[in-house]
Amino acid sequence: MDVGKIIGAAPLPKIDGVSNKANFIKVDKNDGNDFLESIKKGLDSVKNIQDEADNKIQQAISGNDIEISEVMISTLKAEMSMQLTMQVRNKLVDAYQEITRMPI
Amino acid sequence: MDSIFDSLEISATGLSAERFRMNTIANNIANANTVSSTDEGAYRRKSVVFRTMTDDSFYSSFSSNLQECGVEVKGIVEDKSKPQLKYEPGHPDADENGFIRLSNVNVLNEMVDMISATRAYEANITAIDSSKSMVKKAINIGNY
């Protein structure tokens, strides 16, 4: 029986882009510091935000002319960026623990 | 500017604009009972004019879409209506006909403006809280 005669049934088309070489998982073999660098950069910017909030709080409690809303918003930013940092740290620790549990 | 904290900055401009408006209203109420002997010297009710703040940096002039970055105070305008005349011949500020000029502030109008400014301030704070909860939700993606 010729399967092709049945309406709707056709041989699977060849999927493009998949080859045996699997070149889509391309690992850059430079010194591997890129990830570390971006983490450091992120930590630096979090520190900048925290310093800004610290600065504004100092100004507010020393009686300088600064808006309360400005102080609160910068502390809010510091809080949010700190939480984001903690989440990134949690992900890193999770990944590390995942690797330590790997059966060999 | 393109960061998760942009909405906070925009709401912050709204907060400071409303605070400025509140200052002006407080000034109007404080001066509601000032008197003067001339039309020019009488206190005129002041109101604030807002406008959209745009990012007028060098690079943004090349981009087609205008980036809005909040609100700013364009200026203060004075109410040009005539001050109230009051006949009070014994007053030290009275003119030769015995009239003094009160300010043209109507305290009821100022009260309504004050409520409006307060509510607008609260609306900006609500926007900040919503932005915060959005960021919090985004941080917790995949944790539940």
- b/e sequence B39-74, b meaning 16+ C-beta within 10 Å: eeebbbbeebebeebeeeeeeeeeeeeeeebbbebe
Whether the pLDDT of residue B5 is over 90: the answer is: no
The Cα–Cα gap between B134 and B9 comes to: 15
Whether the pLDDT of residue B108 is over 90: the answer is: yes
The Cα–Cα gap between B98 and B104 comes to: 19
Among chain A, residues having any CB pair with chain B shorter than 8 Å are: 67, 69-70, 73, 76-77, 80, 83-84, 87
Asked if A73's CB is within 8 angstroms of B135's CB, the reply is no
Asked if A77's CB is within 8 angstroms of B140's CB, the reply is no
Binning pLDDT at 50, 70 and 90, where does residue B63 land? Answer: low
Q: What residues of chain B lie within 8 A of the CB of A67, using their CB?
A: 15-16, 19
Task: Indicate the SS3 state at residue A70.
Answer: helix
Task: Annotate B3-39 with DSSP letters as a single string.
Answer: STTHHHHHHHHHHHHHHHHHHHHHHHHHTTT-EESST
Whether the pLDDT of residue B110 is over 60: the answer is: yes
The two three-digit tokens of residue B80, written as one number: 């040009």
Report how far Cα A103 is from the mean position of its chain's Cα atoms.
27
A69-79 pLDDT, tens digit per residue, is 999 999 999 99
Instruction: Please choose, from the candidates A62, A60, A84, A79, the residue with its C-alpha nearest in 3D space to the C-alpha of residue A70.
Output: A60
Only one residue has tokens 């609500």, namely B126
DSSP, res B65: S
Which residue from B minimizes the CA distance to A66? B16
Sequence-distant (6+) residues with CB within 8 A of A86 are none
First to last CA, chain A: 50
Q: Helices marked H in chain B — which ranges?
A: 6-30, 107-139
Which residue from B minimizes the CA distance to A84? B139
DSSP, res A16: T
Interface of B with A in 107-136 (CB under 8 A): 128, 132, 135-136
The Cα–Cα gap between B11 and B143 comes to: 29
Closest CA–CA distance from residue A90 to any residue of chain B (Å): 10
Q: What residues of chain B lie within 8 A of the CB of A66, using their CB?
A: none
Asked if A70's CB is within 8 angstroms of B139's CB, the reply is no
Binning pLDDT at 50, 70 and 90, where does residue B1 land? Answer: very low
For residues B105 and B34, the answer to whether their CB atoms sit within 8 Å is no
A21-43 pLDDT, tens digit per residue, is 545 555 555 666 788 898 899 99
Instruction: Please choose, from the candidates B32, B26, B17, the residue with its C-alpha nearest in 3D space to the C-alpha of residue A69.
Output: B17
For residues A85 and A42, the answer to whether their CB atoms sit within 8 Å is yes
Instruction: Tell me the whole-structure pTM to 2 decimals.
Output: 0.74
